[in-house]
């Protein structure tokens, strides 16, 4: 680090001269500081700066100016009479921090310091010239050099402290932003990741339920097809029964007709045909009963056929509906599986974002700390 005292050219003799010069400056300090504030408070930027500082500290403007005046007077008195003691650097450190807090930037501080230097030059030159009839130009120049060097040393160190305080404040601001980002965004991402996990679990459950329903639907469809086949078989059997009953009915009619003819022939035969007539009557009666039973069976078979046809139609409708349900269920299952893949991909992306965000935050903090240390 450059030795600022040597760079500016301050010598041990300068401190002795500065102590003597304070006798010229001290009586004029109040007037000098008053003129200083009259100048800077004529600028709107400085007025705003004072107002904001008063609002932050809860002070009146007059009280703030009086406090700064007392601090400045004490600082200059000790600087000119004591030199660059440890207390000198402590005071400048506080001054630099105060400038950073109130927003007095280095360029404005240097410009303000110029007012003080001009005033001190004028005071010392005027009083030294008035001390004797013969003006000692060399002595006055030497005094002006000491004042200039002390003021520039003051400005340099105060600005260094300002920059340091500014970097600390910037680091704190960046840390605050990073912490807020990490807290709010990090929590949001974690919550999204957690919700994505829950959604993924829910989809797994839906897929499992859907697949169970699909299996049940397929089983029901198979059973419906079996029932359909059974109804077709029943209908075929019913048709066969009807055909057989019709055949019996035809046989009964023919038998009845034959019995009628036999009865007629028995009547012609007289007494010889009586026994045959009895048998023919019995056959006729049996044929009649057979024909009657055949008609009853035919009616019942027709009812069975009607019910079977109705059932067959209903089963066909149910099978069609089951096929549609099975097809829709398959489509739903496929769509859900696609959603599961999408959710899994989102979940993976969120985890990647979390990892990158953590890495980015670490990089920002390291860079921020490195910049602070470099300053």
pLDDT digits (tens, 9 = 90+) for 147-163: 999 999 988 888 888 88
CA dihedral in degrees (316, 318, 320, 323; nearest 10)? -130
Compare 209 and 49 and report the one with higher pLDDT. Answer: 49
Q: pLDDT over 90 for what percent of the chain?
A: 18
Contacts from 175-182 at CB under 8 Å and sequence distance 24+?
175/365, 175/368, 178/361, 178/364, 178/365, 178/368, 181/361, 182/357, 182/361
The DSSP H or E segment spanning 27 is none
| C-alpha–C-alpha distance, residues 329 and 211, integer Å | 8
Looking at residue 142, what is its pLDDT? 95
Spell out the alpha helix ranges (H) of the chain: 4-8, 12-25, 29-40, 44-57, 61-82, 86-102, 106-130, 137-269, 274-374
In terms of pTM, does the model score above 0.75? no
Compare 349 and 42 and report the one with higher pLDDT. Answer: 42
pLDDT digits (tens, 9 = 90+) for 274-307: 676 777 777 777 777 777 777 787 788 787 778 7
Compute how many other C-beta atoms are within 10 angstroms of the C-beta atom of residue 165.
18
Q: Report which of 159, 52, 54, 57 is spatially closest to residue 105, judged by C-alpha positions.
A: 159
Q: Averaging pLDDT over each range in 116-120, 258-262, 292-296, which range is the top one?
A: 116-120
Compute how many other C-beta atoms are within 10 angstroms of the C-beta atom of residue 329.
18
Domains and CATH numbers, the chain: 4-135 (1.10.490.10), 186-249+292-374 (1.10.287.950)
| C-alpha–C-alpha distance, residues 84 and 5, integer Å | 10
Chain-centre distance for alpha carbon 60 = 46
């Amino acid at each position: 680090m450059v030795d600022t005292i040597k760079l500016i050219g301050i010598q041990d003799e300068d401190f002795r001269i500065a102590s003597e010069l304070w006798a010229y400056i001290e009586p004029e300090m109040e007037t000098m500081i008053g003129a200083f504030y009259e100048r800077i408070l004529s600028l709107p930027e400085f007025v705003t700066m004072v107002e904001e500082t008063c609002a932050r500290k809860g002070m009146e403007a007059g009280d703030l100016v009086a406090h700064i005046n007392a601090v400045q007077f004490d600082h200059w008195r000790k600087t000119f009479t004591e030199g660059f003691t440890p207390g000198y650097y402590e005071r400048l450190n506080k001054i630099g921090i105060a400038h950073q807090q109130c927003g007095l930037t280095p360029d404005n501080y240097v410009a303000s310091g110029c007012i003080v230097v001009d005033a001190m030059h004028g005071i010392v030159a005027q009083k030294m010239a008035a001390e004797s009839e013969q003006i000692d130009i060399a002595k006055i120049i030497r005094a002006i050099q000491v004042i200039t060097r002390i003021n520039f040393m003051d400005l340099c160190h105060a600005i260094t402290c300002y920059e340091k305080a500014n970097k600390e404040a910037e680091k704190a601001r960046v840390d605050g932003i990073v912490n807020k980002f990490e807290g709010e965004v990090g929590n949001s991402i974690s919550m999204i990741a957690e919700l994505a996990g829950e959604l993924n679990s829910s989809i797994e459950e839906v897929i499992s339920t859907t697949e169970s329903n699909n299996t049940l639907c397929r089983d029901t469809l198979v059973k419906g097809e079996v029932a359909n086949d059974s109804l077709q078989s029943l209908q075929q059997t019913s048709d066969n029964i009807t055909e057989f009953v019709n055949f019996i009915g035809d046989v009964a009619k023919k038998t009845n007709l034959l019995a009628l003819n036999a009865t007629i022939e028995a009547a012609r035969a007289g007494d010889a045909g009586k026994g045959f007539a009895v048998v023919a009557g019995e056959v006729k009666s049996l044929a009649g009963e057979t024909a009657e039973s055949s008609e009853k069976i035919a009616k019942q078979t027709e009812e069975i056929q009607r019910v079977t046809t109705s059932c067959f139609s209903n089963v066909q409708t149910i099978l069609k509906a089951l096929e549609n349900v099975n097809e829709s269920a398959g489509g739903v299952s496929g769509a859900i599986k696609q959603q599961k893949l999408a959710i899994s991909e989102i979940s993976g992306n969120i985890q990647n974002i979390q990892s990158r965000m953590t890495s980015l935050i670490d990089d920002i903090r390291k860079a921020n700390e490195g910049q602070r240390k470099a300053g």
